[in-house]
Amino acid sequence: MSYRVKSIERNSQIKRVGKICFQLLIVSLALVALASCSKKVTRIDVEETKDLSGDWNDTDSRLVSKEMIGDVLSRPWISDFVQKSGKKPAVIVGEIRNLSHEHIAVGTFVGDMERELINSGRVDFVASKTERKEVREERSDQDLHASEETRKAMGEEYGADYMLKGSINTIIDSEGDEQVKYYQVDLTLISLVDNRKAWVGQKKIKKFIEKNKLRI
Amino acid sequence: MVYERCRAAGIMCFRAIVCLLLVLSVNGCAGYSANIRNVEQQLVVQNYQAALAILEKLYAGSSRDAVLYNLNKGMLLRMSGDYNASNTAFETAKQLMERVEAISVTEQTSSLLINDQVKSYEGEVFEKLLLHFYKILNYLELGKKDEARVEVLQTDQRLKEIKQKLSEDDLPEEAWIRYMSGIVFEDLGEWSDAMIAYRKAYESYRQYWAGFKLSIPYSLKAALLRLADRQGLYDELEQYKQEFGIQEWETVAQRSGQGELVIIVNGGLAPVKLADSATVISPSSGQLIRISVPVYVKRPIALSGANYNVAEQQGQLEIMEIVDPIAIKTLERNMPTIIARAAARQALKYQATKQGRQENAALGLLVNIGGALLEQADTRSWTTLPQTIYMARIPLNPGTYNLSLNIVSSYDGKDQALNFGGLEIKAGQNTYRSLHWIPHNVTNLPGNPREYTRVNANYGIR
């Protein structure tokens, strides 16, 4: 009789241990499942705004180029130039300095601006310094290897009338987990003849960012 | 029959738990600081690719060590000369750090049950600052000065955030990163920003002097005089002249036709954390109690000096940053929290053992031993950082130069000559070069951590 009681007692103990083991297993499985959530991809529209980190992103770049293009094409400097010289102004992109707190790909909105301005048919664009270097190398190579009919001569380059220069600046104010980011993009079109500024464009962006205090 | 079966099941369960605990404890025992030794052995023979391969294997996608992995990876990549890839790794580390800074609910709970190693590695303040420094240096060596400037601004922002969290008398060690920021601004001709950065560096180096006996670098004194003069801050200039006892220096105007060569030598490797553990049996309850806390162990001093020789100019590189004392001070700062957490863990484990015992003596013992085995100190730290950072700023006329560097090893006292060839100096611009010098005895660590913490290095007056 006592043997049976003991065995039942042990049995229940083992059950308990088993139960604890089981619970531990479930918890660990749940943790593993949480950690290994598979990747999910959703396609979104290029125009859609999706702010993730609060850093400079595609929307900022697009907003800046849109604002700048609208502004630069609506100002009188183009018509003034055409009136005076009888031809379209030729523009070259100079240095756009990133003076901000972030590593920003300045090329994207400059590329956008370039495309819109060329496609508007009212402005000519001249290849930039690095692009020119490559083209010149190709030309000197043609000098040696291309046939006379197809060879392009040196010294026929189109000189630009204006240079587009600019900078991106940021001001950050933060307290605890809250942060206000202020971006200011300044672009200036400088006449290569007399250093006069033909156009000044500016776009400001302000963001309020709250950081998470907790995570899973 | 039933009894037999139950016993068999019980034994199996017992075995399974013991196995699990053993696996966990073996995993824990090996620990970060022991594994990283294999990487260091490859660094000594300058086989960076092999070091990277070992590092890759070590981590194998563990998310809680992701920050540490990227910090080490970035450092190894920059040692191998791949500055672009290095910055990619550092940038990943930086972004992960920001994410990890948010407190994790699950990690906090599990670290209270198991040990501090299950928490994601976040990086100490000095590691965060040095991460910025190496990113800046990578950009400078790549010639991307505006990108370096971005990083300088981020550092400033970072320091603001760090200081908000720390108390007034607990300032971060920012001297070197501020000095470097000043150099970047001065290089770009942004005089007022350079002056502000130099001033902050000067303030912080005074703290270094008070805390670690590291004196203010001569090149910083000269920079302060040069810029105070340039900016027309004559009262400040007088004050510096008197304090430093320097009456003559090169002015910005005198330097205008010249360029500057900035040589940085990273010497040795950062100290290592080892576990200092104590296991006792409580006389009242007979329970096994174990506490394990991290202790910093310094490596042997890597080099006792470095001299340069370029275009008939000779000079010494000055010490800019000393990682050993800063790391130790940081750990001391964190120790109360570490001990409090260990105590809380012990209380929980004590309670669990007690409950286990009420069920069954064997179960109680098991919980007790298991709990003690799991008590492992968190010995993770960024160990591929150097022990000391040296620098020289050499004004030169425009042209191409060869620089020879003489490193005086404190390992065997022998000099080692190293060469930098084809250094192009342009007027009004800085040219940056760096190297990481790791002596053979870098992996010689003492068996007992307590032996080492007593040793106090003295960074004497120069």
Residue B431 pLDDT > 90: yes
DSSP B269-332: ---EEEEEEEEEE-TTT--EEEEEEEEEEPPPP-EEEEEEEETTEEEEPEEEEEHHHHHHHHHH
Question: Residue B17's pLDDT is what?
Answer: 56
Smallest Cβ–Cβ distance between A97 and the set B13, B146, B360 belongs to B146
Cβ–Cβ contact B147 with A under 8 A: yes
Instruction: Tell whether B1 lies on the interface with A, counting CB pairs under 8 A.
Output: no
pLDDT at res. B440: 83
Partner B, chain A 108-167, Cβ-Cβ below 8 Å: none
Mean pLDDT of B126-147: 96
Q: What is the mean pLDDT of residues B334-363?
A: 87
For residues A122 and A74, the answer to whether their CB atoms sit within 8 Å is no
Tens of pLDDT along B186-204? Answer: 999 999 999 999 999 999 9
Q: Which of B334-348, B383-397, B407-421 has the highest mean pLDDT?
A: B383-397
In the predicted structure, residue B454 carries a pLDDT above the cut 70? no
Per-domain boundaries in chain A: 1-36, 58-210
Mean pLDDT for B225-252 is: 93
CB < 8 Å to A16, chain B: 359
Q: What is the mean pLDDT of residues B418-436?
A: 93
Q: What pLDDT does residue B315 have?
A: 93
pLDDT for position B445: 75
- How confident is the model at residue A4, as a pLDDT? 55
Q: Is the pLDDT of residue B279 over 90?
A: no
Q: Does B10 touch chain A (CB under 8 A)?
A: yes
CB of B63 less than 8 A from some CB of A: yes
Per-residue pLDDT of chain A (216 residues; tens, 9 = 90+): 445 555 555 566 566 666 665 666 666 555 555 554 456 888 888 888 887 778 888 888 888 888 888 898 899 999 999 999 999 999 998 888 999 998 888 888 888 888 888 888 889 988 888 888 999 999 999 989 999 999 988 888 899 999 999 999 999 998 888 889 999 999 999 999 999 999 999 999 999 988 877 777
pLDDT at B92: 94
Q: Answer yes or no: is pLDDT of B22 > 60.
A: no
- Topology (CATH) of A58-210: Rossmann fold (3.40.50)
Kindly indicate the confidence band of residue B174, based on its pLDDT and cuts at 50, 70 and 90: very high
Neighbours of B215 (CB within 10 A): 17
Distance CA B141, CA B112 (A): 44
A180 contact B CB<8A: no
ipTM: 0.72
Pairing of strands B259-267, B430-437: parallel
Comparing B343 with B127, the larger pLDDT belongs to B127
Q: Which residues of B fall within a CB distance of 8 Å from A175? A: 164
Mean pLDDT score of chain B = 86
Chain A residues in contact with B147 (beta carbon < 8 A): 98, 103
- A171 vs B: CB within 8 A: no
pLDDT at B382 over 50: yes
Query: Residue A48, SS3?
Result: coil
Q: At residue B258, does pLDDT exceed 50?
A: yes
**Percent of chain B surpassing pLDDT 70:** 89
Taking Cα atoms as reference points, which of B391, B222, B176 lies closest to residue B305? B391
* A144-156 burial: b if 16+ Cβ within 10 Å, else e: eeeeeeeeeeeee
Chain B nearest C-alpha distance from A122 (Å): 33
Q: State whether A98 and B9 contact (CB < 8 Å).
A: no
Q: Nearest chain A residue to B166 by CA: give it.
A: A176
Facing A213 at nearest CB: one of B10, B102, B157: B102
Range name among B56-65, B71-80, B210-219, B220-229 with the lowest pLDDT average: B56-65
Structure tokens belonging to residue B361: 């003596």
Kindly list the residues from chain A whose CB atom is less than 8 angstroms away from the CB atom of residue B356: none
Nearest to A11 among B6, B13, B153 (CB): B6
Of B200 and B112, the structure prediction assigns the larger pLDDT to: B200
**Residue B251 half-sphere exposure toward CB, CA atoms < 13 A:** 8
* The CATH number, out of the four listed (1.25.40.10, 3.10.129.10, 2.60.120.560, 3.40.309.10), of the domain defined by the range B14-216+257-453: 1.25.40.10
A28 Cβ under 8 Å from any chain B Cβ: no
Among chain B residues, the shortest Cα distance to A211 is held by: B102
Q: Which of B99, B150, B363 sits opposite A102 (nearest CB)?
A: B150
- Chain A residue with minimum CA distance to B185: A99
Question: In angstroms, rounded to a whole number, what is the distance separating the alpha carbons of residues A154 and A136?
Answer: 8
The verdict on B16 touching A (C-beta cutoff 8 Å) is yes
